[in-house]
């Protein structure tokens, strides 16, 4: 081999090593992008099988199938609105990349509202092992679900014939106003102060003219100031501060209660009510979560104003199935172990 060929061979080797290293760098740069795409794809399929949106859409599919077999559609509408669905062990079984279909399976559990078990053989929970597929809708409205294996639930729902008045959750209100209180006791206004004459103040007879009584009173006051000892000022504890703190705590309880209703947090809202009412149909944690937790338009507190006697007027609005409420109520508090709690709530307009 000639001497002139050696530099060319060395150059070629250097170029080959450089290309190899460059390609390695390119592979390393591309790898994170591929990993991110893979993870995003995996998450999309997992959400298609296991998410709140997926469960609600499958609930709709099952109730729609029951409606086709039932003559009590209105009752099923209410039952669907206040039933809660969850899944046990949802898994992705596979996917069809050609049709972009995700295959899943799991145990579907439907918790129905209290009272509805009367028409379901005493059962508050219906369940079935199901298989289901999810595919994007042609109109871009989301995923479309096809469910198999839910026939035991569908047949029970199709036979459901109970009036919704028996099991429909109630809003957090008392049925009647407390009987010990008058209708307008909380909105009583104080009478204006009566004007008092100088004769009444000074204990003078009515025969003395008021201007002379006033002059004599002034002379007496000027004389007494030189001989009368003025007592030292004493500090008196005012109840104003404690009353203000109590009012602030009371309003805080009211706001906590209604904000919890707006968030559908029954356990928080129920904890603001006196213990003997926390298991009632209107104030139990489960009832509050069912009624307020899935409203089309969640409750929004719009005002709180203090009234007399540990009472507050509140205004709020929300939309429930078949109802739009612009509500007003009187909330009355009581003290339990030095803590203010809600004793009663009386609606001014029925909701």
Domains and CATH numbers, the chain: 48-158 (3.10.450), 243-347 (3.10.450.50)
Three-state SS sequence of 1-34: CCCCHHHHHHHHHHHHHHHHHHHHHHHHHHHHHH
What is the predicted pLDDT for the residue at 177? 53
Is the pLDDT reported for residue 161 higher than 50?
yes
Is the pLDDT reported for residue 193 higher than 50?
no
More confident residue, 99 or 314: 314
Measured CA to CA in angstroms, residue 326 lies from 193, 242, 259 at distances of 38, 34, 16
Q: How confident is the model at residue 8 (pLDDT cuts 50, 70, 90)?
A: low
More confident residue, 8 or 45: 45
Is the pLDDT reported for residue 26 higher than 70?
no
What is the predicted pLDDT for the residue at 36? 80
What is the predicted pLDDT for the residue at 331? 97
Of residues 45, 80, 42, the one with CA closest to residue 59: 80
Q: Note the helical H segments in the chain.
A: 5-49, 52-68, 73-82, 151-158, 198-202, 210-227, 240-263, 266-270, 285-292
Of residues 170, 308, 176, the one with CA closest to residue 250: 308
b/e 271-282 (16+ beta carbons within 10 angstroms → b)? bbbeeebbeeeb
Q: Which of 37-46, 70-79, 133-142, 153-162 has the lowest mean pLDDT?
A: 37-46
| Pairing verdict, β 84-96 and 125-136 | unpaired
Is the pLDDT reported for residue 260 higher than 60?
yes
Q: Which of 24-28, 265-269, 280-284 has the lowest mean pLDDT?
A: 24-28
C-alpha to C-alpha distance for 85 and 79, rounded to whole angstroms: 12
What is the predicted pLDDT for the residue at 292? 94
What is the predicted pLDDT for the residue at 178? 52
**Max alpha carbon distance in the chain (Å)?**
149
Can you tell me the mean pLDDT for 336-347? 95
Is the pLDDT reported for residue 101 higher than 80?
yes
Can you tell me the mean pLDDT for 188-205? 37
Can you tell me the mean pLDDT for 170-185? 61
Query: 3-class SS at 339?
Result: strand
Average pLDDT, the chain: 78
Q: What percent of the chain has pLDDT over 90?
A: 52
């Amino acid at each position: 081999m000639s001497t002139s060929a050696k530099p060319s061979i060395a150059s070629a080797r250097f170029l080959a090593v450089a290309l190899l290293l460059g390609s390695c760098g390119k592979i390393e740069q591309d790898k994170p992008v591929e990993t991110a795409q893979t993870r995003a794809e995996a998450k999309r399929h997992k959400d298609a099988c296991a998410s709140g949106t997926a469960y609600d859409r499958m609930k709709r599919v099952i109730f729609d199938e029951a409606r086709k077999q039932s003559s009590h559609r209105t009752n099923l509408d209410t039952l669907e609105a206040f039933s809660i669905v969850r899944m046990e062990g949802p898994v992705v079984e596979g996917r069809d990349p050609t049709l972009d279909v995700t295959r899943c399976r799991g145990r579907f559990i439907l918790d129905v509202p209290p009272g509805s078990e009367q028409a379901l053989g005493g059962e508050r929970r219906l369940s079935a092992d199901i298989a289901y597929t999810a595919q994007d809708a042609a109109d871009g409205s989301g995923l479309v679900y096809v469910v198999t294996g839910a026939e035991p639930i569908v047949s029970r729902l199709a036979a459901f014939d109970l009036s919704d008045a028996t099991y429909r959750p109630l809003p957090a209100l008392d049925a009647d106003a407390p009987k010990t209180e008058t209708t307008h006791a909380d909105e009583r206004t104080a009478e204006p102060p009566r004007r008092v004459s100088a004769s009444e103040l000074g204990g003078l007879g009515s025969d003395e003219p008021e201007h002379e009584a006033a002059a004599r009173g002034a002379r007496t006051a000027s004389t007494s100031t030189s001989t009368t000892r003025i007592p030292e000022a004493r500090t008196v504890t005012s109840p104003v501060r404690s009353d203000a703190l109590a009012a602030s705590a009371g309003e805080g309880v009211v706001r906590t209660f209604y904000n919890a209703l707006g968030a559908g947090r029954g356990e928080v809202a129920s904890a603001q009510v006196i213990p003997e009412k926390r298991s009632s149909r209107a104030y139990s944690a489960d009832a509050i979560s069912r009624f307020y937790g899935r409203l089309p338009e969640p409750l929004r507190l719009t005002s709180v104003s203090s009234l007399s006697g540990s009472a507050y007027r509140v205004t709020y609005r929300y939309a429930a199935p078949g109802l739009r409420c612009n509500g007003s109520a009187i909330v009355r508090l009581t003290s339990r172990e030095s803590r203010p709690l809600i004793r009663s709530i009386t609606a001014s307009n029925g909701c």
